[in-house]
Structure 1
Amino acid sequence: MKNTPLPVSDDKHLWVGWDDYHRSIEGLVRVVHESGWKFDQVLCLARGGLRPGDVFSRIFDLPLAILSTSSYRAEAGTVQGALNIAKHVTVTKGSLEGRVLLVDDLADSGVTLSKVQRHLQANFPMVTEVRSAVIWCKACSTFKPDYYLEYLPTNPWIHQPFEEYDSMRPEQVIARLKDGD
């Protein structure tokens, strides 16, 4: 597969490649670790928080819980719609309890993180504390995460490397693989 150069980022668009994306997740790990806060579980918000949540779970050697949420659905994922929060959290062992680190990719409007915090308080009485961690926090967010790697004062649209798959179908993947052979 060819590595296509990314467009130049500016105040309206932040373009993130795979290497920078992974380094950003690791940078967020550092921020949380250096805070000294000890947590019992990692809860990631699917889909944007899946990759960061997986990395946190592995590095901190803690169970990973997953809560599916969805709001960016219209116009190839570029327009925020109504927020849907799954009723249940997926956990491989036990239940969601104790001190929970809530991980997502970004705080955009703040609606998702705010509503998920309320959802956890209302439905998971064994959770004693929740703190949130995101890679990017936009100035327009009404919710300020406890931890973030980068504050974005101009509220750019963030183009993440996995977004190319939003409009790709199996035939296109197969064709791309053939082109790379």
Structure 2
Amino acid sequence: MRRIRYDYDTFAGDLHALADSIDGKFDAIVAIARGGMTMAHMLGEYWDIRNVFVVNSIGYEDTKKLETTKVFNVPDLVPFERILIVDDIADSGETLDAVVKRLSARYPDKKFETATLFYKPHKSIVKPDHWLKSIDDEWIDFFWSDDLKRIAEKSR
């Protein structure tokens, strides 16, 4: 599997392009932790949406996919109508699928849309409503996952 380092500058440009491709008229943004957190924060700033929440999920241990995806810490979305769920990548799609199912079951009257930077169409079980780049079998090393580790290693 080819690994690609995804730096901040590329991310910022890509997120801007993704944001411009979406109308942005949401009442709230829900980040899937941890990959969607930086996206949700920046999209909230870009669209001036202060209702930014986090839902937790665990589907991977490092690069190893787990058998089941756990979803927990579901936010209170009662006051909102149109909600964007964001994650960095739809790889297998199981995390995105599990979160959407969990939120839709708890809030059946809400309108949910999904957005990712990356989408693996030949692998993912779900297709995000909005995505920027289609990829195949690459593993993306996002800056938020490895920059702090690299800095710590240099200081030792």
User: Which structure features the higher share of strand residues?
Assistant: 2
Q: Is the 8 A contact 1:97 1:124 kept in 2?
A: no
1:88 alignment partner in structure 2: 74
**Judging changes above 3 Å, is the alpha-carbon distance between structure 1 residues 14 and 165 closer, same or farther for their aligned structure 2 residues?**
closer
In structure 1, what is the Cα distance between the partners aligned to 2:79 and 2:117? 23
Residues 83-139 of structure 1, C-alpha deviations (whole Å, 9 max, x = no match):
1111432x6xx74631101111010001111111110111124x5200000000012
The one-letter code matched in structure 2 to 1:13 is: R
CA contact (8 A) 2:59 2:94 kept: no
**Runs of 4+ in structure 1 over 3 Å off:** none
User: What's the counterpart of residue 59 of structure 2?
Assistant: 71
Change (3 A) 1:128 1:95: closer
* Correspondence for 2:36: 49
TM-score normalised by L of structure 1 = 0.75
In our comparison, the structure showing a higher alpha carbon Rg is 1
Letter in 2 for 1:130: F
**Which of 18, 26, 43 matches 2:8?**
18
Equivalent residue in structure 1 for 2:104, among 121, 136, 144? 121
**RMSD between superposed Cα atoms in Å:** 2.5
Please, what TM-score do these two structures have when normalized by structure 2?
0.86
Q: Which amino acid aligns with 1:112?
A: T
**Stretches of structure 1 lacking an aligned partner (at least 5 in a row):** 1-10
1:6 is matched with none
Please give the secondary structure, in 2, of the residue aligned with 1:97. coil
Distance 1:148 1:96, change over 3 A: farther
Structure 2 counterpart of 1:60:
47
Separation in 2 of the partners of 1:97 and 1:107? Answer: 25
How many positions carry a matched residue from both structures?
A: 153
